[in-house]
Amino acid sequence: MTLDSDQLAQATYGEVFGHAYEKRLSTQISARLVRDANGLRLENADGETLYAGPPSNVERISGGPSLLSFGAQWTFDTEDAKGAELLIGRAKDGWLSDLETWHPRLLIVIAACLLGVFAIWKWGLDLLVWGAILLTPPAIVTAIDAGNLGAMDRILMDPTELSQADKDMVRDVFEDVRAHAPEAPYGEYTLYFRKADFIGPNAFALPGGTVVVTDALVEEFPDQDILAGILGHELAHVSERHSLHQLYRSLSIYVLVAMIAGDVGPVLEDVLLEGSALASLSYSRKHESEADVIGIETSHAAGYDPAALAEFFETLSEDFGDTGSNDWLSTHPSNADRIRIIKDLAAKQ
Ligand SMILES: [Zn+2]
């Protein structure tokens, strides 16, 4: 590499120490490279000039010393590659040493980019879902409830056949639990009874606060403590917006972006208001555990025995097996774990 006058003009005054080699001989001597008002010189330890003028060649070794040739006779090496570079002028092919200098910053930039990609992959959909939830007007959520309940009534459910006494008993429990549950985010919690054989002994909640209890649940578990635990659990799905979360997660990213942009088109209205999409969705394990915790606190606050919920799951396990064709069981990794956690929580109330 040859240095041109531009590069030399950028050079600064100073000195670096190293060793000089006379090319004919193999011995090395202590030497310094110095630039002052008189120009660039290679000097020996006694201050005698070995060579005056710019180097004829510069070799950079990654992370190591620089090797500079002066005329036909001298070679100079130094550990202070950066210092030597300042004296002889910044080299145009210095990208390698630049890269070395930038190393920590480059690593931080790369790490930040990877973190960004990871965040979008892991939380991007969740962020979109939460954005859509926060921007959904309460009236829409109420309409989602009415639309889905209507669709399920047409396709999946029949009117209740429970006795008035059974309904009154459950309604009393519901009122107690509702009074101690976290506030409903959209309107009120409302109880409905339905004969819904496709889900067996069960209860479910729609995003706006509609809670449906099946005939089979009341017939097989006419225990107020168990019912209180289940109703507390369902109300928690509403208060924590689990149901709306699951519904929005099932939508495409395109629809979510359109919702956030305020463009609730006819397709979306079909999906949200006319469909029975909610009937086929199940909660995540995280949501189930969250609803268990809040439900236990609620039923305890309402004066019921929260440990009864564990009894309910134990009975379900015996009837349906631990893998569960019943969706109370299939939504959780291990029913045994769930029962143990509920018992622990109940004991702490
Ligand atoms: Zn649940």
Calculate how far, in angstroms, residue 168's C-alpha sits from the geometric centre of ligand 1: 24
Same domain, 88 and 141: no
Give pLDDT, residue 245: 87
Query: For residue 124, is it within any domain?
Result: no
CATH code (residue 83):
2.30.29.30
Q: Which of 241, 252, 228 is nearest to 346 (CA)?
A: 228
304 CA to centre of ligand 1 in angstroms? 19
Please give the distance, rounded to the nearest whole angstrom, from the Cα atom of residue 165 to the centre of ligand 1: 26
Residue 101, domain member (yes or no): no
254 alpha carbon – ligand 1 mean position (Å):
28
The amino acid sitting at 87 is: L
Per the domain annotation, does 268 fall within a domain?
Answer: yes
Q: Are residues 63 and 143 in the same domain?
A: no
pLDDT tens digit at each of 349 positions of the chain: 444 554 554 567 888 999 998 877 778 899 999 998 888 999 999 999 999 988 888 877 665 567 888 888 889 888 888 888 788 875 544 455 555 555 677 788 888 888 887 877 777 778 888 888 888 888 888 888 988 899 889 888 999 999 999 999 999 999 999 999 999 999 899 999 999 888 888 899 999 999 999 999 999 999 999 999 999 999 999 999 998 888 888 777 777 777 777 766 665 666 666 656 666 667 778 888 899 999 999 999 999 998 888 888 888 877 766 554 455 555 544 577 778 888 888 888 7
Return contacts of 42-50, CB within 8 angstroms, 24+ apart.
Answer: 42/70, 42/74, 42/76, 44/20, 50/20, 50/74
Tell me the CA–centroid distance for residue 341 and ligand 1, in Å. Answer: 15
Contact 11, 88 (CB under 8 A): yes
Same domain, 41 and 162: no
For ligand 1, the distance from its centroid to the CA atom of residue 223, given in whole angstroms, is 19
Domain identity same for 156 and 258: yes
d(CA 99, CA 108): 13
Angle, vertex CA 93, rays to CA 89 and CA 97, nearest 5: 85
Q: Is residue 112 part of a domain?
A: no
Residue 119 lies in a domain: no
What does the pLDDT read at residue 1? 45
Domain range for 339 is: 136-348
**Does an H or E element contain 49, and which?**
strand 49-52
- pLDDT at position 64, please? 58
Ligand 1 center to 247 CA (angstroms): 14
How far does residue 221's CA lie from ligand 1's centre (Å)? 17
CA of 80 to the centre of ligand 1 (A): 68
Inter-CA distances, 195 with 103, 198, 213, Å? 68, 9, 8
Q: Measured in angstroms, how far is the CA atom of residue 279 from the centroid of ligand 1?
A: 13
Total structural domains within the chain: 2
- Centre of ligand 1 to C-alpha 237, Å, is 7
CA 122 to centroid of ligand 1, rounded, Å: 23
Per the CB < 8 A criterion, the answer to whether 77 and 68 are in contact is yes
Q: Which two tokens stand for residue 297?
A: 């606190």
Same domain as 270, residue 328? yes
How many DSSP H helices and E strands does the chain contain? 14, 11
Task: Tell how far the Cα of 127 is from the centroid of ligand 1, in angstroms.
Answer: 22
Same domain, residue pair 41 and 165: no
| CA 224 – ligand 1 centroid, Å | 18
169 and 266, same structural domain? yes
Cα 240 to middle of ligand 1, angstroms: 11
- Cα(339) to ligand 1 centroid in Å equals 14
Q: Do 230 and 331 fall into the same domain? A: yes
**CA 135 to ligand 1 centroid distance, Å:** 24
Q: Are residues 12 and 88 in the same domain?
A: yes
Cβ pair 186, 170 in contact under 8 A: no
> What is the whole-number distance in angstroms between the Cα of residue 330 and the centre of ligand 1?
11
Ligand 1 centroid–CA 234 distance in Å is 6
Residues 45 and 141 in one domain: no
| Ligand 1 is an ion; residues with CB less than 5 A from it | 288, 291
Distance of CA 242 from the midpoint of ligand 1 (Å): 9
Are 9 and 158 part of one and the same domain?
Answer: no
26, 61, 93 - which closes a domain: 93
| 58, 93, 128 - which closes a domain | 93
Domain shared by 58 and 140, yes or no: no
